[in-house]
Structure 1
Amino acid sequence: MNSAVDPLPPVLANPNPVLTRRELRKNGVRVLDGGDQGDAVVACGLVGQVRMDGIHVNFGRRMQVDDLEMEVALDAQVCIKIFLEGFVEASLNGVPMPMPQRTAQGRWQSSAIIVSHENGARLRRRARKGQYLDKMVIGMSREWLQRFSETSESPDTFQALLGGDPGFWQWQPNRKVEFLARQMFDIAARKPPFSAVLLESHTLAIVYEALTAAFGSNPDAVMPPTNLTAAEQQRIYALVQYIDRHSAQELAVTEMANELGASQATLQRLVRKAHHCSLNEFIRNRWLTEARQALLFSNRSISDIAYEAGYVHLSNFTTAFRKHFGYPPSSLRRQTGQAEG
């Protein structure tokens, strides 16, 4: 499996590879939208790749030059998928892939997932002429990942992933991940001396950030599909997106339920089924996680970050933060050399 959005291997002989419907079919892709079944070009773009023992990376920008709807069966794999900017419709076993969003300032806010699926998982993708998606997909063997589970600190969810359980973990790439990923595009294009060393080191740094976000300090990001139907997973993702679009001072549960087309009782039941906590706890934990990212990667004061996370009093924020993460928010500022302002 090469990508949740484009499962085909890059054409290395051509720095500007093109894909046709005929090539798609030769690679086991089922074209669903009819149209020209000959050599019509459907996508093109620059692609880079990294190959190491037990881990491989494909990344690039794919321009859609013709409408295309497709479905393909994927091999069993664990992979990290980072979507930097752009949009196409894509789903895996009926679960929508989280696409990047535009901020109020017009900046792309990237999205990412870690996926563990069994052999034969179904990827569907629909894109329209002119659409594009800057993306990176890091595939990892479970044997390679096993090396990092030999400590008592490995959480049960990570152990389950290594054991072959299917899972779908959504996480928010931080500024470091976005910087590393975009720099890999530039390195692949310029090919400076020892570029392979740079690409491999960047890959490992991104893998560390992804595993830490999904299985380390943010266990609430886990969204296992094993006990949820496809419709329930879609509603969970819609709930997460709604929370992420609002600050703690703006969000009202009644308005959220109305916009999502579900009662509060339904949302409560769904969150408890997926995350074993109440709806209010789920919302509070996501804002605490956002607060942690802001403490690490911004110069904003702890008081401002606490207020945006829904806490009027700094002491209440400190207590909740310590309870959730095991350390106070001020310790993160000491690590990054920033002081309270």
Structure 2
Amino acid sequence: MQNPLPDSRGEVVMQHLRTGLSLKYEALDIAAASNLSVFFQPGLRLVFALNGTTRIRIGQQSLVFSSHGAQKAALLPVTENALGYKRFEVQQDKRELVVFMTPKWLRESLSEDDLPHLEASLEGHLQPCYFTLTPLIYKLLLRITDDRYRQLSPLQQESLCLTLIHESLQLIRPRQRRGGHERLLQLAGRIDALLQADTQLSIKDIAAHCNSNPATVQRVFRQRHGISLGEFRRQQQLDMGYNALLSGATVSQAAEVAGYRHLQSFSDAFRHHFGCLPRDIKASCTRN
């Protein structure tokens, strides 16, 4: 995405993870103060001020997010179309992450029990619900804003974002008695967080960390991501092999990195996952 500010340097990256779910990351050096008109569509926004200050004005409502104050993050509800502007002050290394969730995505992704609880935590249109950053949320933000995030598979990118959303919503939901569905959502978020911290954990280890059992872990993971945990691990291994090829490794070395003993098995799995052979990636890197 092109940098919309004329008197600034840096980048604005927009990523669409699935229909109705996207994120935007800004990393800018701003040389002159300016206002940028913004059209706000209905939905929810998770705003994280990673460094510097952001000011938003919509009608009579002013919102301030600052990495130097207590209001570092907030959930911002927009229930109707609104036109406003974003104020950019002179500052170095301004960094901000915004996660966008449309009403349709929320209806499809959150249960009927969760939506009323979430709405009860909000004060209305354009009324932010601020929260503090936990160590896990801070770690997730570091991973999502790292350049290597863009090299992850779409499934891994989405998994990190879903975990960030889940952990953030836990901080703003009212303290009510938790039903079975919410416990399953918490378990799904915990599984994702454990896998992001250590991709080599066995199913038994994950179940032990979550005070659950392997069968439930497998079922919850498949419901959340549409594939089994074993298939997820195979995709991760192939992604590692793909990145090894991009870094200059031979096909044999990439197969070893991906955990394959036989080149033919690696080539078959690679073609099934990426639609091309490892040697095609290697040849492309050589030409470039």
Matching of residue 119 in structure 1 with residue 104 in structure 2: no
> 1:237 maps to what in 2?
none
Q: CA deviation at 1:176?
A: 1.0
Name stretches of at least 5 consecutive residues in structure 1 with no aligned partner: 1-9, 12-17, 21-40, 103-108, 219-333, 337-341
Judge conservation of contact 1:82–1:112 (CA < 8 Å) in 2: yes
Q: Which amino acid aligns with 2:88?
A: A
Distance 1:75 1:161 in 2: 20
Q: CA deviation at 1:52?
A: 1.1
Distance 1:98 1:169 in 2: 12
Matching of residue 86 in structure 1 with residue 52 in structure 2: yes
Q: CA deviation at 1:165?
A: 5.6
Matching of residue 74 in structure 1 with residue 36 in structure 2: no
Distance 2:158 2:105 in 1: 15
Matching of residue 135 in structure 1 with residue 96 in structure 2: yes
Name stretches of at least 5 consecutive residues in structure 2 with no aligned partner: 177-208, 212-288
Q: Could you report, residue by residue, the CA deviation over 1:270-297 in whole angstroms, capped at 9, with x for unpaired residues?
A: xxxxxxxxxxxxxxxxxxxxxxxxxxxx
Within the candidate set 100, 124, 149, 2:111 is matched to: 149
The percentage of aligned residue pairs carrying the same residue is: 16
Matching of residue 210 in structure 1 with residue 175 in structure 2: no
Distance 2:29 2:10 in 1: 6
C-alpha change, 1:148 and 1:73, in structure 2 (3 Å) is closer
- Local SS of the residue matching 1:199: helix
> 1:231 maps to what in 2?
none
- Local SS of the residue matching 2:138: helix
Distance 2:88 2:119 in 1: 36
Deviates more, 1:51-60 or 1:70-79: 70-79
> 1:171 maps to what in 2?
131
C-alpha change, 1:198 and 1:210, in structure 2 (3 Å) is same
Q: Which amino acid aligns with 1:54?
A: G
Alignment: residue pair count:
175
Judge conservation of contact 2:120–2:174 (CA < 8 Å) in 1: no
Q: CA deviation at 1:79?
A: 1.2
- Local SS of the residue matching 1:97: strand
User: Could you state the TM-score of these two structures normalised by the residue count of structure 2?
Assistant: 0.51
> 2:64 maps to what in 1?
97
C-alpha RMSD over aligned residues = 3.3
Q: Which amino acid aligns with 1:58?
A: K
Judge conservation of contact 1:78–1:115 (CA < 8 Å) in 2: yes
Q: Which amino acid aligns with 2:9?
A: C
Distance 1:190 1:170 in 2: 26
Q: CA deviation at 1:168?
A: 2.0
Distance 2:144 2:38 in 1: 27
Distance 1:119 1:165 in 2: 8
Q: CA deviation at 1:57?
A: 0.9
